[in-house]
């Protein structure tokens, strides 16, 4: 008699089968409208794993940052190929995902990727040789696509009678409005983000190294059940010394964190995400050591005014552009400039649609700005602003995660809005 497999689902965040069926139903309705027989979803480890967003949305299978490919049919279970796993390695003594999720059957629905020929063979076996196949990519358009030329060329060459079209927008649209279960995941991610802000503030002391501050934030994240999703634009520098520096938007690996020690007169700025079950909460925070110069305090006060103005506007039926204009008005009145200002969708990825970080100029940007906010959308806010008449190399960062309810905007993180000053 075969021994039962230890059930580990209670130890990582899980969505219900009801949620699975809801997602599959919504996406399949769109597939019918677009006359698609199946979706072919490419997930990657691009940008610390958020390239897996569409794959995880429909399968609940995180690929351990290796990436994967999913065949999502109009009926029945999806078939998932996990990339980067050696056959007989991660599936012994049993398929790895068997103990961690129940959306799919690890024996029947999850396979190890051994190349495009096996994928093509399965597509033919499932009857898609002459079908309409919707390709779903993993990247935001502005980052470029991640499906390789070799894979695409193999697909269209080996399936010459199939109709292959881009269906990425279909999944992006489906993910815009969050379910009650998704909101709960985002709320938990935001709770952990708030704890990380506390860690940032507590660790930002004279003599501490940037890397030590960064490490405390990561420790807080993981120790509280967050996914090890390490995205943190953190940097520090003096605002009282005359040399020019990059204190506008922070830096990422390998440029940060550094072994630089903090000292009096330093500004520490950070933009980070916290992941819970793949769902990302966003936060931006600035901390000053000592008494801030009045010019810096003024910039921060304008940032707070802009954030509050935008949040007051964020309710169902208001356009994205109207929110941006509300955020921009305090900057105009104070003659303050910005590096990044606006909102963008947040969930399994950052950014999600809709988004606006600058005044729309192109037809696509104008169309995005005309999109209306709807109940149960979630957004990250970005305010990276500076006074160009004081210093164009020093600014403040302020941001949070917003849930659009029927009554308006709800701040999920609850970060302190004042410019935190440490002695």
The string of pLDDT tens digits covering residues 101-116 is 899 988 889 888 888 9
Last residue of a domain, one of 174, 194, 215: 174
287 located within any domain: yes
In a domain, 382, yes or no: yes
Residue 245 within any structural domain of the chain? yes
pLDDT at 360: 87
Identify which of 403, 343, 409, 28 has the alpha carbon closest to the alpha carbon of residue 180: 403
Task: Say whether both 157 and 226 belong to one domain.
Answer: no
Looking only at the bridges linking them, the beta strands covering 132-136 and 163-166 are parallel
| Domain contains 137 | yes
Coil, helix or strand at residue 287: strand
Task: Please choose, from the candidates 25, 62, 15, the residue with its C-alpha nearest in 3D space to the C-alpha of residue 43.
Answer: 62
65: left (phi over 0), alpha (psi -120 to 50) or beta: left
Residue 230's pLDDT is what? 87
* Enclosing domain of residue 329: 180-422
For the stretch 256-309, pLDDT in tens is: 999 999 999 999 999 999 999 999 999 999 999 999 999 999 999 999 999 999
> What is the maximum span of the chain, computed from C-alpha positions, in angstroms?
77
Question: Domain boundary residue among 174, 195, 218?
Answer: 174
CATH assignment of the domain containing 409: 3.90.230.10
Q: Is residue 324 part of a domain?
A: yes
- 122 shares its domain with 198: no
For residue 265, being part of any structural domain is answered with yes
Chain mean pLDDT for the chain: 92
Return the bridge partners of 266, or none.
Answer: 238
Task: Give the C-alpha separation, 137 to 54, whole Å.
Answer: 8
Residues 138 and 44 sit within 8 Å (Cβ to Cβ)? yes
Residue 171: Cβ-neighbour burial (10 angstroms; 0-12, 13-18, 19+)? buried
Residue 3 belongs to some domain of the structure: no
Mean per-residue pLDDT, 185-212:
98
What percentage of the chain reaches a pLDDT higher than 70?
A: 95
Residues 6+ apart with CB under 8 A from 126: 38, 71, 73, 79
Whether residue 83 is predicted with pLDDT greater than 80 in this model: the reply is no
Number of domains in the chain: 2
Length of the chain: 423
Q: Residues 374-389: pLDDT tens digits?
A: 999 999 999 999 999 9
How confident is the model at residue 84, as a pLDDT? Answer: 66
Shared domain for 385 and 404, answered yes or no, is yes
For residue 155, give the CATH number of its domain.
3.40.350.10
**How high is the pLDDT of residue 138?**
73
pTM of this prediction? Answer: 0.94
Cα 202 → chain centroid: 26
**Whether 244 and 316 share a structural domain:** yes
- The reply to whether 220 and 148 lie within a common domain is no
Helix (H/G/I), strand (E/B), else coil: 416:
coil
- Give the residue from 157, 174, 191 where a domain finishes: 174
Please identify which residue in the block is written with the tokens 């979630």: 378
Q: Is residue 189 part of a domain?
A: yes
């Amino acid at each position: 008699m075969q021994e039962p497999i230890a059930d580990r689902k209670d130890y990582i965040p899980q969505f219900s089968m009801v949620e699975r069926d809801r997602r599959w139903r919504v996406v399949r309705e769109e597939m019918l409208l677009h006359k698609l027989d199946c979706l072919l979803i490419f997930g990657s480890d691009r940008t610390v794993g958020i390239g897996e967003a569409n794959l995880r949305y429909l399968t609940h299978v995180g690929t351990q940052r290796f990436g994967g490919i999913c065949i999502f049919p109009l009926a029945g279970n999806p078939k998932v190929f996990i990339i980067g796993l050696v056959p007989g390695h991660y599936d012994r003594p049993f398929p790895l995902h068997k103990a961690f999720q129940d959306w799919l059957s690890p024996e029947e629905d999850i396979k190890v990727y051994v190349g495009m020929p096996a994928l093509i063979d399965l597509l033919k076996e499932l009857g898609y040789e002459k079908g309409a196949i919707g390709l779903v990519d993993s990247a935001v358009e502005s980052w470029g696509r991640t499906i390789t030329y070799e894979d695409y060329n193999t697909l269209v060459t080996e399936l010459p009678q199939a109709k292959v079209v881009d269906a990425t927008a279909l999944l992006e649209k489906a993910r815009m409005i969050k379910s009650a279960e998704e909101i709960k995941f985002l709320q938990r991610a935001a709770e952990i983000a708030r704890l990380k802000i506390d860690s940032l503030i507590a660790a930002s002391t004279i003599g501490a190294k940037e890397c030590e501050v960064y490490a405390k934030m990561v420790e807080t994240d993981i120790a509280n059940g967050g996914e090890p999703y390490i995205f943190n634009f953190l940097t520090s520098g003096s605002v009282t010394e005359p040399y020019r520096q990059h204190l506008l938007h922070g830096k990422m690996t390998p440029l940060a964190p550094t072994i630089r020690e903090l000292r009096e007169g330093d500004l520490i700025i950070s933009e980070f995400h916290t992941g819970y079950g793949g769902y990302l909460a966003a936060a931006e925070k600035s901390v000053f050591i000592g008494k801030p110069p009045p010019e810096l305090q003024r910039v921060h006060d304008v940032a707070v005014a802009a954030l509050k103005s935008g949040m007051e506007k964020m309710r169902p039926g208001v356009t994205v552009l109207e929110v941006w204009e509300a955020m921009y008005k305090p900057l105009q009145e104070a003659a303050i400039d910005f590096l990044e200002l606006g909102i963008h969708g947040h969930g399994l990825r950052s950014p999600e649609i809709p988004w606006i970080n600058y005044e729309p100029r192109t037809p696509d940007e104008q169309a995005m700005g005309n999109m209306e906010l709807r109940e149960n959308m979630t957004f990250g806010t970005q305010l990276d602003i500076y006074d160009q008449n004081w210093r164009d190399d020093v600014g403040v960062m302020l941001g949070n995660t917003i849930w659009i309810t029927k009554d308006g905007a709800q701040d999920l993180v609850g970060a302190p809005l004042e410019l935190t000053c440490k002695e």
